[in-house]
Amino acid sequence: MTDTLPLILLAGFAPFGGESSNPSAEAVHALDGETVAGHRIVALELPVVFGESLRALEAAIGRHAPALVLAVGQAGGRTHVSLERIAINVDDARIADNAGAQPVDVPVVADGPAAYFSTLPIKAMLLALREAGLPCEISQTAGTFVCNHVFYGLMHALRARPGTRGGFVHIPWSPAQAAARPGAPSMPVATVVEALRIALGVALTTRTDVAVGGGAEH
C-alpha cells in the first residue's frame, strides 16, 4: 500500500440488530487493496453507533484524503443494490444502536441543511449495473438510522473537500441471513462485490451523470 495511486475509501458496517454478520463489511473487506480505474480501495468497517461511526469515517477521510468515499450499509428486506439519492438531517432510531442509543428526531448536524444529495453519478451507475445483469435501483431514502446518519455526516464533511465525491449504497441481506427468515430476499456477497466494483469504476470515470429515470411516484 506504499504506492501513489489515489484512494477510494470504502466503508462497511459492523453487524447490528441482533445479527452476527453484516454483508456490507464482508463486501468491503473483500475489495480492500483492489485497484479500480486507477484508484486503490481502502476498506473501513464502521461501528453501528451514532456519532462514533461518523467520527471514525471523518478520521479516515483525514488520514487517507480519498478521491471518492462510498459507504455501504445493509438494508434487510430490500431486493436490489440501492444507490441512495439523498441523506436527510435527522436521527430517528426505531431500534437501539450498538451502544444502546436510540435518538428520536434529533438532527445529525445542528443547524445543518435539511438534506444533501449524493455527489456520485447514480444514474450512470444504475445503467451499468443493469447492463451487467445485476439488480440495482435508485433509492429515495436511506432511512433515519445510522446509515443515513453516516451518509449525511459524510456529505456535510465533504463540503470542505470539493474534489472528493461521496455517496451511499444499501445492499440486501446475505443468503445466510435470509435463510433464517421466511420470505426474506437476499443477495450473495460475491454478487455485491461485483456490483460495487462496477459501481466504483463508473463513479470514477463519469464526470456528468446521465438523465435516465430512477424516480418513484411515492
Q: Please tell me whether residue 217 binds a copy of itself under the rule CB under 8 A.
A: yes
Nearest approach in angstroms of CB 169 to a copy of itself is 11
Nearer to a copy of itself, 42 or 150 (CB): 150
| Contact characters 37-56, a copy of itself, x per CB under 8 A | --------------------
Name the DSSP letter for residue 84: E
Please answer whether residues 109 and 89 qualify as being in contact, where contact means their C-beta atoms are separated by less than 8 angstroms.
yes
Nearest approach in angstroms of CB 5 to a copy of itself is 31
Compute the Cα dihedral for 125, 189, 26, 76 and give only its sign: positive
Give the containing element (helix H, strand E) for 179.
Answer: helix 175-179
Beta-carbon-side half-sphere exposure of residue 116 (alpha carbons within 13 Å): 24
For the record, the C-alpha cell of 167 comes out as 455517496
**131 tagged catalytic:** no
Nearest approach in angstroms of CB 185 to a copy of itself is 4
Give the containing element (helix H, strand E) for 168.
Answer: strand 165-171
Q: Please tell me whether residue 111 binds a copy of itself under the rule CB under 8 A.
A: no
For the record, the C-alpha cell of 131 comes out as 447492463
Binding site for a copy of itself (CB under 8 A): 17, 73-80, 82, 85-86, 88, 90-95, 102, 104-105, 113-117, 123, 129-130, 133-145, 147-148, 170, 175-176, 178-180, 182-188, 191, 209, 211-218
